[in-house]
């Protein structure tokens, strides 16, 4: 049974917008839209919402989930986005024995009680334990069938980033760093500016649950400590012609790494202009299973392989 989503009203408890308390708002909230200006969602923990309330906003969200966002009257037009959403994360602690409800998540290699005992998992755990960028997610975006189509930015929806697997299980749970979405939006913009008027980028793989990722770990396969489990990675390609493979961007009649390099170059340019979105960029050739694609992430430091 599809429940009607309650509208959310964030209203200033203070009077007069002449002195809009922008400066009292947490920085992430003042940065609406991200670097691209195209983000359409806020992802908050319960503590984050409490912080907004302390800044003078009234928030009427009780349950974790995805809600339409109503802009307070008087909010500067430059900040407002039609169709934006506010997302309250499901706390990480809701995951028990590797599951949240009927959804299987597994456990992160650096999570206490991780049950993998392979040498690869042990090495991954040791590596991640020393690095803050591998901190466990603060929570999960609960995605119902009815909210999978929710836009997180101009060109991307929540459903684009869901882990593969468990097709019949709803709700699903997602880890998604909006800085990744911001980077993808800037890549689209850059490709267009460079003479490749792509409609968007297809996300071949976004978030991977640790249990899904673990199935592909091995020589030539996935990393045991893949950034995809931390929600800031996507494997993408432009697919305006909808054939399920990378488009022939350079128009030479074949689809290969040269086309993927055009997308990777766009990501490089985005990083030069936006150091805060630095991370991994790599092109991958076609195999029997898929066409060429580009991996991008926003791990915070430059990585190439
Ligand atoms: Ca194509
Ligand atoms: Ca080509």
What is the mean pLDDT for each group of 10 consecutive residues in the chain (305 residues)? Answer: 43 38 65 86 90 77 87 61 85 96 94 77 84 94 97 97 97 98 98 98 97 85 90 98 97 98 98 97 95 97 96
Q: How far is the CA of 228 from the centre of ligand 1 (A)?
A: 23
Give domain limits for the chain. Answer: 8-89
First to last CA, the chain: 47
Ligand 2 centroid, distance to 261 Cα (angstroms): 10
DSSP string, 66-119: EEEEEPPTT--GGG--TT-EEEEPEEGGG-BTTEETTEE----TTSTT----SH
Measured in Å, residue 58 CA sits from the centre of ligand 1 at 46
Whether the CB-CB separation of 67 and 8 falls below 8 Å is answered with yes
Among all ligands shown, which has an atom nearest to the Cα of 238?
Answer: 1
**What is the Cα–Cα distance from 59 to 115, expressed in whole angstroms?**
39
How many angstroms does the Cα of residue 255 sit away from the middle of ligand 1? 9
Gap from CA of 233 to ligand 2 centroid (Å): 25
CB 295 within 8 Å of CB 281: yes
SS3 164: coil
Helices 257-273/178-193 angle, 10° precision: 110
C-alpha torsion sign, points 225, 228, 233, 239 = positive
Distance CA 40, CA 153 (A): 5
Q: Nearest bound ligand to CA 291?
A: 1
Output the pLDDT for position 19. Answer: 41
CB–CB of 207/228 below 8 Å?
yes
Q: Which ligand is nearest to the CA of 240?
A: 1
pTM given for the model = 0.91
pLDDT given for residue 71 in this prediction: 66
């Amino acid at each position: 049974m599809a429940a009607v989503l309650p509208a959310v009203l964030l209203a200033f408890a203070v009077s007069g917008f002449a002195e809009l308390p922008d400066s009292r708002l947490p920085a992430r909230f003042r940065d609406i839209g991200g670097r691209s200006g195209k983000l359409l969602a806020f992802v908050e923990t319960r503590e984050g919402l409490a912080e907004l309330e302390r800044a003078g906003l009234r928030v009427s969200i009780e349950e974790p989930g995805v809600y339409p966002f109503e802009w307070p009257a008087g909010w500067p037009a430059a900040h407002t986005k039609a169709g934006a959403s506010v997302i309250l994360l499901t706390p990480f602690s809701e995951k028990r024995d590797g599951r949240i409800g009927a959804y299987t998540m597994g456990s992160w290699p650096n999570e206490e009680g991780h049950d993998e005992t392979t040498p690869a998992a042990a090495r991954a755990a040791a590596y991640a334990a020393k690095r803050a960028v591998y901190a466990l997610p603060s929570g999960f975006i609960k995605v119902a069938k009815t909210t999978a189509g929710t836009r997180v930015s101009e060109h991307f929806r929540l459903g684009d980033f869901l882990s593969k697997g468990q097709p019949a299980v709803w709700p699903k749970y997602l880890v998604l760093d909006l800085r990744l979405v911001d980077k993808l939006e800037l890549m689209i913009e850059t490709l267009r500016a460079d003479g490749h008027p792509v409609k968007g980028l297809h996300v071949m793989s976004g978030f991977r649950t640790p249990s899904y990722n673990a199935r592909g770990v091995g020589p030539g396969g996935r990393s045991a400590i893949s950034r995809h489990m931390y929600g800031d990675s996507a494997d993408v390609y432009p697919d305006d012609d909808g054939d399920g493979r990378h488009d022939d961007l350079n128009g030479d009649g074949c689809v290969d790494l040269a086309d993927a390099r055009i997308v990777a170059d766009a990501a490089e340019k985005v990083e030069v202009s936006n150091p805060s979105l630095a991370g991994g960029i790599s092109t991958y050739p076609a195999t029997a299973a898929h066409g060429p694609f580009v991996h991008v992430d926003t791990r915070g430091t430059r990585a190439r392989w």
